[in-house]
Structure 1
Amino acid sequence: MPPTIRFVRLPQIDPGLIQAHMSDPRVAEHMPLLTGAWDADTVAQFVATKEACWQRDGLGHWAILADGDYVGWGGFQKEGEDWDFGLVLHPDRFGLGLRIARQALGFARDDPRIPYVTFLLPPSRKNLGALRRMGADYIGDTSYGPETFRKYRLDTA
């Protein structure tokens, strides 16, 4: 039986779990903006930054639980006019990605503020079939800081 997926706010998660997750080198492989070691201060700053998005935009990133266990984080962040969707799972739970994304995107479809979502993927991501199956369209490359990302868009209407 597939696990029950729930979204909760990041402050509800033990900071040590987030630190261990974000310190895993397998996570960093596909996160070119992830530099340096994660310690308690880094986690606190990360959580505060993500919570500020909730305060500013009324939406942000969640911690993701599978049968009550922390498996990663993800959600929506306002980037200019775009609502960008991101998902960062523990490597042992990568297989839940499509299921979690579909559940989160269902939330976006029910929110009239979100006519579409964007996805920014680093060039290291080679398996993009799931995005295509969901109906996302490649719209071009974009720079974020010093890195280039492939940008996709999915209409939610």
Structure 2
Amino acid sequence: MTTRSDAISFGSLDDIPPATLIAHMSDPRMAEHMPLLNGRWDQDDVARFMAAKKAYWQRDGLGHWAIFYDGTYVGWGGFQKEGDDWDYGLVLRPECFGFGMAITHKALEFARSDPRISSVTFLLPPSRTKLAALRRIGAEFEKSVDYENEMFSRFRLLIS
């Protein structure tokens, strides 16, 4: 299946009904590669998530988006400021995992047009062992990092 980049759009997380986020983040397949995800989500989890993501937008003028394919919600992700770095994250619904690289390419186009972003980091848990696509786009392993008491591999992609 070919993913059309013109069918990918980014919107506000406010556009996603809380029940949709609860179903997405409560799917047991999500926890496989998300060590910080602890069990089923509820309304309180959505409220905390939304407050945190809005705070990043207010602080940095950029953050995570709702991601749509042909107008259908497929996940969330985007750029979040972590110290001096812009970290890119992507959390797709399991049935949409195949859209990942097309969405990432579109997000990186955005990053290249933003003068604040000279590089992008990617934090991946040790369970992520298929890294060829990340290497193909030019990201290089930088180091292992502890984030909220979990280990991740940090990769960096120079944008400019």
**TM-score, scaled relative to structure 2:** 0.95
Question: Percent of aligned positions with the same letter in both sequences?
Answer: 61
Match of 1:16 among 15, 19, 29: 19
Alpha-carbon separation, structure 1, partners of 2:125 and 2:3: 29
Say which SS state the counterpart of residue 10 (structure 2) adopts: strand
Two-structure CA RMSD over aligned residues (Å): 0.9
The answer for the alignment partner of 1:54 in structure 2 is 57
Alpha-carbon separation, structure 1, partners of 2:72 and 2:60: 27
CA offsets 1:116-144 (integer angstroms, 9 cap, x no match): 00000000001111100000000010000
Q: Could you list the runs of 5+ residues in structure 1 that have no partner in the other structure?
A: none
Match of 1:145 among 145, 148, 152: 148
Q: How does 1:1-157 map to 2 (within 5 A)?
A: 2-3=3-4, 4-157=7-160
Shift of 1:36: 3.1
* One-letter code aligned to 1:52: A
Q: Could you list the runs of 5+ residues in structure 2 that have no partner in the other structure?
A: none
Aligned pair count reads 157
Runs of 4+ in 1 over 4 A off after TM superposition: none
Shift of 1:37: 2.3
